[in-house]
Amino acid sequence: MGRRLVVWIGLTIGLLVHSQPLSGWAGPESRRPPNVVLIISDDQAWTDFGFMKHPAIRTPHLDRLAARSAVFRRGYVPTSLCRPSLATIITGLYPHQTGITGNDPPKGSERAAMLHHIRDVPTLPRLLASRG
């Protein structure tokens, strides 16, 4: 099995796992598309995991994954709110750029109307899908 990349992102915790080598990390096998899994856990601090040295919380499965992965311990989101943070994760844009700056749409707006901001820009899921 190839290298894995694990990324923890601020208050919204994300794990980005590549079970195949990333392009440029290894030999010819790196030409295969990586298998990417994004696991998101909300309302936890970055220390709320065993592998992050929490004194009471036990996370044995995540601990094993982290032990075999590259862990970036300084990932941040631009806001502590879920929806704008998730929009940032999939677009790479700041909340003011996506137009999603809160968990709920502004009064008088429909939630579906906010989605055009996401549809109009490249997103991580679409970029990964286009590469197989």
Q: What residues are labeled active site?
A: 82
Name, in order, each residue with C-beta under 8 angstroms of 41's C-beta and a sequence gap of 6 or more. 12, 13
Residue from 6, 36, 12 nearest 89 by CA? 12
Beta-bridged to residue 7, according to DSSP, are 72
Conformation bin of residue 66: beta by default, left when phi > 0, alpha when psi is -120 to 50 = alpha
79 CB-contact burial (10 Å; exposed 0-12 / middle 13-18 / buried 19+)? buried
**Rg of the chain over CA atoms, in angstroms?**
17
